[in-house]
Chain A
Amino acid sequence: MSNSSNPRSSDPAIGSQPTRLTGAETLWATLVGEGVRDVFGYPGGAILPAYDALRKFPIRHILVRHEQGAAHMADGYARASGRVGVAVATSGPGATNLVTGIATAMLDSIPIVCITGQVSSKVLGTDAFQEVDITGITLPVTKHNYLVSRTEDLAPALREAFRVAQSGRPGPVLVDITKDAQQNSALFDFAGAAPAAYRPHPMLRADSASMRAALELLRTAKRPVLLAGHGILHSRALDQVRTLAERAQIPVACTLLGLTAFPASHPLNLGMMGMHGESWVNHAIQQADLLIACGMRFDDRVTGTLATYAPKAKKIHIEIDPAEINKNVPIDVALIGDLKEILETLLPLVSERDGSEWLHAISTMKGSAAVRDIQQLPDNGHLYAAHVMHDLWRETHGDAIVVTDVGQHQMWEAQYYKHEKPRSLITSGGLGTMGFALPAAIGAKVACPDREVWVVAGDGGFQMTSPELATIAQEKLKINIAIVNNGYLGMVRQWQEFFYEKNYESTPLLSPDFVKLADAHGIPGAHVTQRSQVVSTVQTAREHKGAFLIDFHVEQEDSVYPMIPSGAALHEMIRRPPENRLVETANES
């Protein structure tokens, strides 16, 4: 990464000459050297020495209201900017509160570094006050972690942590620092603490035989589909993927996290695949004779039942993590390595191809559903979440960073908000963490202060982390919040409707007046109950100088369609009942 090697030499603490620093100073000096400008954290006993030294360094600290928020903010920061996000917490409960956020970053391969304080090394393992074995707890949900008990080990561990977080398949790294390691002093030498050079995974393999096999499959395919995943963003291979698709005229299907890896308006972009993907996308995959999977991992939410997944297709898998090859879907040609590098090798050998027949077949499958301009549909007095997403997309020109929570609104956003810019959709895909949106949006806004940031959350998930409204107020962040309020834990209710005979056990949800809640934080807001109010309220929010909250009271028992029940084949979708076609997302093919 561009910012990993050059310390800001203007800073006295990290000049070229090794200086004697406390561990606390070493921590911040190393972060500054790694290019960190913002951290999200919460102080406490075991991390106090570090906080005491913070004022000497050019780092902005955002005080969170719960450490889970700190991890999600670091995560949102990394997703929006591509830089490493940093979260800081104290030992014990501070550290355990980070875990959900760390696991969220792990499942979506997000580079974050979490710093935790730890009790002094002399009392490690004695059940001292606020002691918890956080390296043990986070072992399965971090890419790697460190327990640092000597000041001289701190800078090398931190620098290696930044390298590990960003290299290969990115992921979260935790550095646990004992209190005495923060208090003691050691010689600080930023350059000397540089980690060993990145060691490529020894199983990386993109040899000429595999390349040739891939090219041959590309050349002979009649019905190819390119599967665009999150790895395209990680590898910064957007141009290469686009060139490949355009040159060989390959239609592109996106995973949820890959939605911003290919412009939504591009004629080759079919849309989202999988459980709530467009019908024609899933049909195209099922009928394809070649799948080119780029930086995606055939998650169960995109394959449906594996026994019937893309039965006619040969599969090329371009992926940096060898453990993903043949994990779920048997692969014909595996190109294991950095997507961008592999495509750059491959592209000069890819010849132009006429894909019009296959593209025509897909657009026939789309039918009129592809137009889907619900703006033109008559207002029947009901407010549907789809309307909200559609109007939000129109009003923001598809240009905002939208940070969604998890549930129905997340899928409606994915279906109706058309993202043109990379990294403009931030959402918890792998872990599906409710409560993610509000803190992650704070991270995104801090990383990209000039971008318009919208939170789209359900009434359930919003309440999981709503205290972070106070963080928004304290930091004076311009974040717009849209709550899709249907009075239910909507996605769970939908599953109860479809699979549990409408037994709505524990899903009706009484919520506070969100507008009053925002008001208590000095954040203005508005209720929206009519379709006609959506656009004007979104305009009000955008024009307001500070944060603004809109509580959209939408149809209570609406469901996300189409839906592939878990365990069903990709083409066996549940469709919206015909009497209510207003916001159907796709036609029967």
Chain B
Amino acid sequence: MLHTFVALVEDKPGVLTRVASLFRRLNINITSLTVGNTENDGVSRMTIVAEAAEDRAHRMMASLYKLENVLEVDDVGRHSAVIRELALLKVECDAKNRADLFQLAEVFHARIVDLAPESLMMEITGSASKIEGLVQILVQAGYRILEMARTGRMAMRRGRHTSRVLAALSDTSSTGSSSSPPQKPANLTADQKQSGNWSAEQNRS
């Protein structure tokens, strides 16, 4: 099955290698990986999508946590979450069939972001299936896709839920120490330790 993890990691050289190496060691192919800044300086957010057996999720998560640079891991596939991907598509077209493509774009809520004499570029945001739907329609209608770039998935849990790591980081930054490098939150209380969404009993397959 397809697993989607969100990992908050320290923004340092070599962290990507450590994360990627872990999946390499488990012989798991990474379907997509997006990395970007977060609302906190020094913290990057990775969304990792990987194909692996259902019972591997726990090991992947536990192994990610073993990396010193990883602050928090969330298996968002187990929760209600907004999952989005962005794609840019360069399609061959001329003045004759341009109008047809504009219509298609409208149906898929895609935007035309570049127009050239022999091609145009569409930007589409949405779930993977929506993007794949547009691609399929284009191909079936006989259009030639010159280039396609996809970001891979980004995910965020729905609702008020916020990582307690991020919450702790926000608290320290609001008290004026935002210039200091992020510290791993030190004193998780017993309650916090146990409030994780994972348990050995739940995880037995």
Contacts and interface: CB of A to CB of B under 8 A. Distances in A.
Given A139-B18, A323-B59, A326-B58, A202 B65 contact: yes
Q: Which 7 A-B pairs have the closest CB atoms?
A: A334-B200, A197-B186, A323-B62, A199-B184, A322-B62, A144-B68, A196-B183
Given A205-B196, A325-B200, A199 B18 contact: no
Interface in A317-354: 317, 321-323, 325-327, 330-334, 336
Contacts of A199: 184-186, 188
Given A197-B186, A200-B188, A331 B200 contact: yes
Contacts of B198: 203, 205
Given A203-B61, A210-B200, A323 B186 contact: no
B186 A196 contact: yes
A327 B204 CA distance: 11
A201 B66 CA distance: 8
Nearest to B61: A203
A338 to B, nearest CB: 12
B3 to A, nearest CB: 16
A207 B194 contact: yes
B28 to A, nearest CB: 14
Contacts of B201: 210, 213, 333-334
A147 interface: yes
A136 interface: yes
A449 interface: no
B63 interface: yes
Given A197-B187, A322-B65, A203 B196 contact: yes
B193 interface: yes
Interface string A191-212: 0000011111111110100100
B14 A147 contact: yes
Nearest to B73: A202
A164 interface: yes
A507 interface: no
Q: Which of A198, A323, A327 has the most chain B CB within a 10 Å cutoff?
A: A323
20 contacts: A140-B21, A144-B68, A196-B184, A197-B186, A198-B186, A199-B185, A201-B66, A203-B196, A204-B193, A205-B200, A207-B194, A210-B199, A210-B201, A321-B62, A322-B58, A326-B55, A332-B204, A333-B201, A334-B200, A336-B200
A19 interface: no
B27 interface: no
A202 B18 CA distance: 19
B204 to A, nearest CB: 6
B184 A201 contact: no
A465 interface: no
A200 B17 contact: no
Nearest to A145: B14
Interface string B67-80: 11000110000000
A97 interface: no
Interface size class of B (residues with CB under 8 A): 20 to 34
Contacts of A321: 62, 66
Interface in B37-83: 55, 58-59, 61-63, 65-68, 72-73
Contact of A203 (B13, B17, B21, B65): B65
Interface of B: 13-14, 17-18, 21, 25, 55, 58-59, 61-63, 65-68, 72-73, 183-188, 193-194, 196, 198-201, 203-204
A135 interface: yes
Nearest to B58: A326
Contacts of B187: 197
A140 B186 contact: no
A205 B192 CA distance: 10
Contact of B193 (A143, A200, A331): A200
Contacts of A336: 200
Contacts of A144: 67-68
A416 B28 CA distance: 43
Interface residues of A, number: 34
A330 B203 CA distance: 10
Nearest to B190: A207
B170 to A, nearest CB: 17
A333 B200 contact: yes
Given A331-B200, A334-B200, A336-B200, A201 B65 contact: yes
Contacts of B61: 203
B200 A202 contact: no
Nearest to B186: A197
A230 B194 CA distance: 26
A140 B188 CA distance: 28
Contacts of A200: 188, 193
Contacts of B14: 135, 147
Contacts of A140: 21, 25
Contacts of B199: 205, 207, 210
Contacts of A201: 65-66
A323 B193 contact: no
B196 A202 contact: yes
Contacts of A143: 66, 68
Given A139-B18, A334-B200, 20 more contacts: A136-B17, A144-B67, A144-B68, A147-B13, A164-B68, A197-B186, A199-B185, A200-B193, A202-B72, A202-B188, A202-B193, A203-B198, A205-B198, A207-B194, A322-B62, A325-B58, A326-B200, A327-B59, A330-B204, A333-B200
A336 B55 CA distance: 18
Interface in A183-241: 196-205, 207, 210, 213
Nearest to A171: B66
A213 B200 CA distance: 12
A200 B17 CA distance: 23
Contacts of A204: 193
Nearest to A196: B183
A539 B103 CA distance: 96
A331 B204 CA distance: 8
Contacts of A325: 58, 62, 200, 203
Contacts of A207: 194, 199
B116 to A, nearest CB: 39
B132 to A, nearest CB: 34
B202 to A, nearest CB: 11
Nearest to B18: A139
Contacts of A164: 68
Nearest to B64: A323
Contacts of B186: 196-199
B196 to A, nearest CB: 6
A233 B7 CA distance: 33
B185 A323 contact: no
Given A144-B68, A205-B199, A139 B193 contact: no
A164 B55 CA distance: 29
A349 B65 CA distance: 32
Contacts of B194: 205, 207
Contact of A139 (B21, B58, B66, B188): B21
A199 B59 CA distance: 19
A326 B62 CA distance: 11
Nearest to B71: A199
A333 B55 CA distance: 17
Contacts of A202: 65, 72-73, 188, 193, 196
